[in-house]
Amino acid sequence: MKKKFAILLFCGFFALSIQAQNFGGGIILGLSTSQVSGDNLGGFNKAGILAGGFIDLQLSTTLKGQMEMTFIQKGSNNANMNKNSISDISLSYVEIPLLLKYQQSSTIAIEGGIETAFLISSSDNDIYGQISANSTRKFNTTDISIFIGLDYFINPRLILNSRISNSILPIRAHASGATFQLNKGQYNSVLSFALHYHL
């Protein structure tokens, strides 16, 4: 229900942005690289698709607000599964980032914000493929993250965006169920690169 409401809300804002003079909008296409803390694997080794759209509002000469809706793949990848038998993770989300951009110059802007992601599909994978969901711990249906990023303006319409994000709530509990201070379970970390094109 939350996912449907968020999608309808974004579509409504996008439709309004087309008609409103102060609003803009466009499309997003890129690549996500990710890892999951606490899975006994390290490095941003999981590559995935990042695609969607955005609407933005010019708040001042240097400050802009932006809302996005993207499909994004996250998780972890074990290239040495034949040797260490550690399973990896595949996750797909519909993600809604809310952010502020500060224009430093004609070619550079910095950004920061918060994003809510709604889980579409999930699996743990071993050497034989997907592990039965009955044999694994369930993932939380919502992932909330904070992020910072950088825009490079290739031209007034085309922007190269790089962004790093990290979950602030666990995506699921540790296998042992243990918690320690701020470490409550497993968390997504994502480094993404995308082209943003203003329509």
Name the 3-class secondary structure at 10.
Answer: helix
Is the pLDDT at 151 greater than 60? The verdict is yes
pLDDT at 15: 60
Is the pLDDT at 100 greater than 60? The verdict is yes
Confidence band for 80, pLDDT divided at 50, 70 and 90: confident
pLDDT at 81: 84
% pLDDT > 70, the chain: 85
pLDDT tens sequence across 112-122: 999 999 999 99
Is the pLDDT at 21 greater than 80? The verdict is no
Confidence band for 83, pLDDT divided at 50, 70 and 90: confident
All domains in the chain, ordered by first residue: 2-198 (2.40.160.20)
DSSP state, 83? H
- Picking from 22, 96, 104, the residue whose alpha carbon sits closest to that of residue 56 is 22
Higher pLDDT, 44 or 15: 44
Name the 3-class secondary structure at 132.
Answer: coil
Task: Give the integer Cα–Cα distance in Å for 175 and 154.
Answer: 45
Is the pLDDT at 25 greater than 80? The verdict is yes
Task: Give the integer Cα–Cα distance in Å for 19 and 28.
Answer: 20
Could you tell me if 51 and 68 are in contact, meaning their C-beta atoms sit under 8 angstroms apart? no
Whole-number average pLDDT of the chain: 88
Is the pLDDT at 16 greater than 60? The verdict is no
Is the pLDDT at 82 greater than 90? The verdict is no
Is the pLDDT at 67 greater than 70? The verdict is yes
Q: Which residues of 4-36 are buried (b: 16+ CB within 10 A; e: fewer)?
A: eebeeebeebbeebeeeeebbbbebebebbbbb
pLDDT tens sequence across 161-170: 999 999 999 9
% pLDDT > 90, the chain: 66
How far is CA 60 from each of CA 83, 101, 111, rounded to the nearest angstrom? 55, 11, 15
